Structure formats: C-alpha cells, structure tokens
Chains A and B, each alone.
Chain A
Amino acid sequence: MDSKKKFLDAMENKICKKIDKKGRLYFEVTNENLHEVVNFLFKEMGCRLSTATGTELYAGIEVLYHFSHDPTGIYFCPRVLMTDKKNPRMNSITPIVRGAEWIEREMAEMLGVDFIGHPRKEPLLTKNNPGNLDKPLRVRSVS
C-alpha cells in the first residue's frame, strides 16, 4: 500500500495545510496533535527520524521534523509553528523517538524553544561554554 495514502487515511483529520511533492509530504500539525502523528509515523509506519529543522520566520518559530520511510524512500515532514516568538513552547517528541534528544536540545539553545516533556533540558552545544549564553543564539528578533 502506498505509504502516503496509508498515512493520509489515518491522519488526514489531524493535519492542516499540506504540500505533496514527489517523494515528500510536508504538512502542518498543531501542538496538540503532534504526539499522535509522530506516534503513528514512528511506531505504526516504522519511519526513522532523520533530523529536525528549526527556523525563525516572520510569523514565528517553526520546527520541521523529517521522518524517512526507508522502505519507500518517502519523507514525511510535520511542521509546528509557534507564533509567540518570545516564549515558544511545544511538546517534545523525545519520549516517543529517543533519537530526537540531541536535535531538540540544539533547537532549544538556538531558538529558545521550550520542549515540554524533554527528559534532559540542558544545552547540547554550549554546555561547556565559559561565556554567559543566556539567550537563544539564532533568534534575530529577541535582543
């Protein structure tokens, strides 16, 4: 069965705006539905988390996860947008996907995202930095 169809049949009501490209499916998902969608991708479909990309946009802070369905080579990319740039918060997927621990820690220190439920909330890259790095490193709008 086509993996995109399998996913959309089960999760279409949980996702918002989607972009369907050759071998890729980008879609928006609310923070409330994130765990259910990730659970389906990782545990039901056997997808592997490649990584996640955190980006500062005009509209807010965006976190885009990249799940690879290796048997078909298709990428599923759930996107979560946090409009409150000064206090971005979202659910962590590390309790479901252990491989997300490092990238969520990195996004936390780069973009200031508070990942709720992350088992180890400490910086990944700047833990041993002697400087006082108390603000997100890559957010331009928060001085």
Chain B
Amino acid sequence: MTKNNIPLGPFHPLLEEAEYFNLVVDGETVVDIDMDIGWMHRGHEFISEQKTFTQSIYLVERICGICSTSHPIACVHAMEDVDNIEIPLRARYIRTLIGELERIHSHLLWLGLAGHFIGYDTVWMWAWKYREPVLQMFEIISGNRNHYGMMRVGGVAKDVDSEKIPGLLKILDMVDEKMQMIAKVAKDDPVLRSRLKGVGVLSKQDAIDYCAVGPTARASGVHTDVRKDEPNDAYDLVDFDEIVLENGDVYDKLVLRVLEIFESTKICRQCLEKLKTAKGPILNNVKEISPGEGLGRYEAPRGEVFHFIKTDGSNRPMRHKVRAPSYVNIPTFTASCKGIPLADALITLASVDPCYCCTERSLKVIDPSHKLDNIDLLQISRDKTEHIRREINAD
C-alpha cells in the first residue's frame, strides 16, 4: 500500500496554537508524524528584556489566555529566586487559590473539547456550563474573568475580601457537586471507555525520554508535579494528592484531569478557609533585584511552566527565558501517534490539552490525490464513536 501525507494545520481550530502536523498514513494507520512550529512567534522573551520587572509580569500574562496566571506565578518565582525573597503568608494562599481555580477551568475546558472531538457534545456543553461559575469566582476575586493581574514580586496585587469568602465557598460546592456528575459519566460510560481506552498510548519510558510534564507524564506513571517536588506558595500548607496513573492512554489522561479537578477544589476550599483567619500584609516591598540568576516554575494545568531570569542590577531582566509545557509535550506525539488508526489521531493530538486562546482560523488544504482534509478527520473520529456505540447497544 502507498503512503499518503495528511497535512493538519498550520491554522486549524483543533490545534493549541498555530502548528503544522504532517501525518504519514499507510491505509488507515498513522506510520509517522512530523511537526513544525514557529507560525505565531511573538518574541516574548526579547520584548520582556525591554520591559521593567513589573511590566514583564503583565507581558507574560498574555502568553496564554488559559494559563494566564501560571506564567506570571513562574515569572515572579524566578525574580524572587534571585534574592530568595520571602512572601507573606496571606499572599501565598491567594496565589495558590488563583492557580488552582485556573486548573479547574482549564481542565473543564479540555474535557468539553475532548467530548466534542469524539462526538460527545453533551459533555462539551456540561463542562463549559460549569466552567462559567469558576470564571465568575475569578471576577469576584480579581475583577477580571481572565488576565487577573494579581501577581507581584513579593506577593499579590489585590486582597481577597473576607465578606466574599462564604459566597466563593458556595460556588465551589456547586462546582464540586456538578463535577461528581460529569466524573460519573466519564468513568462509567461504556462507549467513552471503549473509545478512549488504549488509544494514543505514551509509554513511561517515552515520557521520561521526551521529558514530558504535567498530566501527559503523570498519566504514563511518571511522578512529576511541581506542587509536590518544589512546594512553593502555600502548597506545603495544604493537603492534596498527586494523581498518577499507569496506562498513558487518552482515557487515563481524561480520568487524571477529572480527579485533579477534585484535588483542586479541595485545595481551593482549604485556602479560602485559611484566608478567613490568616491576617497580615499581601505584599512585601521589594525595591530592587540584585544581579544574578533565578529560575521559577509553576505547575500549570498542562504541566511545568519554566521561567529563567538573568539580572544585572538594573530594573529590567537582562535575559528572560520562557518554556511553556506544550513545548516539551508536543514532541511526544512522535511516540504516541505511531501505529494508531487515523480515527484516533485527533483525540491523541488533543490529549496533551490544546489551548484555544489563539486564532481559530483554519486553512483548508485540498489535494486531488487524496481527499481527506481537517474536517474529514473530525468526522471519522466521530464516526468511530458512533460505531462503538452501536456495537455496545447491539450487545
């Protein structure tokens, strides 16, 4: 059988950012995959070096619309690491609260999109419906639904009003209750299990070799979670479990994210309870940052966000390196996509958690030699789910 190439991207609504995938298929089987990035290079590192430290925090907040607090937290960690700056207790709880709320809304966003890709639009609508109250919590805390502007070197910019805490806890209870319902669907539905079990497996050794991070690594049995490995902010003061599963397939990545949402609500609840009693300042007055090097990281919903700052004693970074988790997770497709049926390619590509903050424009490539295009890929993915559903119903 002859091998065909199926181009996916560079601009496509299924992809996290503008990326290009070239799927090499032999019949129905994906035999190789190649990736190109650089379509939306914005030069954040270079721009940051022209900004003051405080301006850089706002800049990195705009790297991603979904991880919009993970980058600022990692950035301030890097700046604080240069001089080992301590931050007040109340600020530690607020940072942790914001970070975990972001994890809940990001995982719900992914869960909905994953459902959509395989033809489960009800999951999509439920997940996005119950993501909305989480965004409202952000609005109550920071005044913004996204890009919260909360992080500062030495603490946070805004306090959480004690009068608002009972209301926030009430919303959290409601999210928890609805998540139980979604989790039951995700774990008990026979079609979903059959559709995703054993699909796009990333072995533990491949996850280690490619230096994968976050849920992509943890679903393959690799213990890597910044919150446990280097517990900064209030992570050493709250009780939570690191979720690690073994199979490395899309189903495990789904279950892992659902379980992580419960851990996040647990952390948020503890932070809000502590904020009722932990009084004190929210910001240490940091006047300057010494010459030196500092690195900071934070466990974003997709994995470790890494920032490195080199300073020369001025009020701006001399070098600012940023590494988002997708940068190390996307190359794992080389291992997880080989040998899978074409119908499973989309959900495997989506399983590292695509980010939809960027453009949703698509480029339709029409090649007379083979008619498959991006929309066809979505259709055959959904057709396979329908086929499994019929088989299960027939039994």
Which residues of A pack against B, CB within 8 Å? Answer: 19, 21-24, 26, 48-51, 53, 55, 64, 66, 68, 70-73, 75, 77, 97-103, 123-129, 138
User: In the assembled complex, which residues on chain B have CB atoms less than 8 Å from the CB atom of A19?
Assistant: 293
User: In the assembled complex, which residues on chain B have CB atoms less than 8 Å from the CB atom of A77?
Assistant: 295
In the complex the two chains form, is B210's CB within 8 Å of A24's CB? no
User: In the assembled complex, which residues on chain A have CB atoms less than 8 Å from the CB atom of B328?
Assistant: 51, 99, 102
Looking at B211, B230, B293, B321, the one whose CB has the most chain A CB atoms below 10 A away is B211
Given contacts A22-B84, A51-B306, contact A126 B209 (CB under 8 A): no
Using a Cβ–Cβ cut-off of 8 Å, how many residues does chain B contribute to the interface with A? 34
In the complex the two chains form, is A75's CB within 8 Å of B38's CB? no
User: In the assembled complex, which residues on chain B have CB atoms less than 8 Å from the CB atom of A23?
Assistant: 230
In the complex the two chains form, is A75's CB within 8 Å of B209's CB? no
Docked Cα-Cα span, A22 to B230, in Å, equals 12
In the complex the two chains form, is B224's CB within 8 Å of A55's CB? no
Given contacts A51-B321, A99-B328, contact A128 B39 (CB under 8 A): yes
Docked Cα-Cα span, A55 to B20, in Å, equals 28
In the complex the two chains form, is B331's CB within 8 Å of A102's CB? yes
Question: Is B297 at the interface (CB under 8 A from chain A)?
Answer: yes
Measured between C-beta atoms, what is the minimum distance from A11 to chain B in Å? Answer: 20
User: In the assembled complex, which residues on chain A have CB atoms less than 8 Å from the CB atom of B231?
Assistant: 73
In the complex the two chains form, is B327's CB within 8 Å of A51's CB? yes
Name the contact of B306 in the complex, choosing from A50, A124, A127 (C-beta under 8 A). Answer: A50
Name the contact of B38 in the complex, choosing from A49, A50, A101, A128 (C-beta under 8 A). Answer: A128
Q: CB-nearest residue of chain B relative to A53? A: B321
Docked Cα-Cα span, A49 to B224, in Å, equals 12
In the complex the two chains form, is A55's CB within 8 Å of B319's CB? yes
Q: CB-nearest residue of chain A relative to B226? A: A73
Which residues of B pack against A, CB within 8 Å? Answer: 10, 20, 36-39, 41, 46, 81, 84, 208-213, 223-224, 229-231, 293, 295, 297, 304, 306, 308, 310, 319, 321, 323, 327-328, 331
Docked Cα-Cα span, A125 to B211, in Å, equals 20
Q: CB-nearest residue of chain A relative to B231? A: A73
Measured between C-beta atoms, what is the minimum distance from A70 to chain B in Å? Answer: 5
Measured between C-beta atoms, what is the minimum distance from B209 to chain A in Å? Answer: 5
User: In the assembled complex, which residues on chain B have CB atoms less than 8 Å from the CB atom of A72?
Assistant: 229
Q: Which 10 residue pairs across A and B have the least CB separation, nearest first?
A: A99-B211, A125-B38, A73-B230, A51-B323, A53-B321, A73-B229, A70-B229, A98-B209, A50-B306, A49-B211
User: In the assembled complex, which residues on chain A have CB atoms less than 8 Å from the CB atom of B230?
Assistant: 23, 73
Q: CB-nearest residue of chain B relative to A49? A: B211
Docked Cα-Cα span, A64 to B331, in Å, equals 21
In the complex the two chains form, is A99's CB within 8 Å of B310's CB? no
User: In the assembled complex, which residues on chain B have CB atoms less than 8 Å from the CB atom of A49?
Assistant: 211
Measured between C-beta atoms, what is the minimum distance from A133 to chain B in Å? Answer: 11
In the complex the two chains form, is B210's CB within 8 Å of A99's CB? yes
Q: CB-nearest residue of chain A relative to B45? A: A138
In the complex the two chains form, is B319's CB within 8 Å of A50's CB? no
User: In the assembled complex, which residues on chain A have CB atoms less than 8 Å from the CB atom of B38?
Assistant: 123-129
User: In the assembled complex, which residues on chain B have CB atoms less than 8 Å from the CB atom of A50?
Assistant: 211, 297, 304, 306, 323
Q: CB-nearest residue of chain A relative to B10? A: A128
Docked Cα-Cα span, A72 to B382, in Å, equals 44
Measured between C-beta atoms, what is the minimum distance from B19 to chain A in Å? Answer: 11
In the complex the two chains form, is B210's CB within 8 Å of A124's CB? no
User: In the assembled complex, which residues on chain A have CB atoms less than 8 Å from the CB atom of B46?
Assistant: 138
Measured between C-beta atoms, what is the minimum distance from B226 to chain A in Å? Answer: 8
In the complex the two chains form, is A53's CB within 8 Å of B331's CB? no
A-B contact pairs, 20 of them (CB 8 A): A21-B81, A26-B293, A48-B208, A50-B323, A53-B308, A53-B321, A55-B310, A64-B308, A68-B229, A68-B304, A73-B231, A97-B209, A97-B211, A98-B211, A98-B331, A99-B331, A102-B328, A123-B38, A125-B37, A127-B38
In the complex the two chains form, is B209's CB within 8 Å of A99's CB? yes
User: In the assembled complex, which residues on chain B have CB atoms less than 8 Å from the CB atom of A128?
Assistant: 10, 20, 36, 38-39
In the complex the two chains form, is A98's CB within 8 Å of B210's CB? yes
Docked Cα-Cα span, A138 to B209, in Å, equals 29
User: In the assembled complex, which residues on chain A have CB atoms less than 8 Å from the CB atom of B321?
Assistant: 51, 53
Given contacts A53-B319, A102-B327, contact A24 B306 (CB under 8 A): no
In the complex the two chains form, is A70's CB within 8 Å of B224's CB? yes
User: In the assembled complex, which residues on chain B have CB atoms less than 8 Å from the CB atom of A138?
Assistant: 46
Name the contact of A125 in the complex, choosing from B41, B210, B308 (C-beta under 8 A). Answer: B41
In the complex the two chains form, is A66's CB within 8 Å of B308's CB? yes
User: In the assembled complex, which residues on chain A have CB atoms less than 8 Å from the CB atom of B224?
Assistant: 48, 70
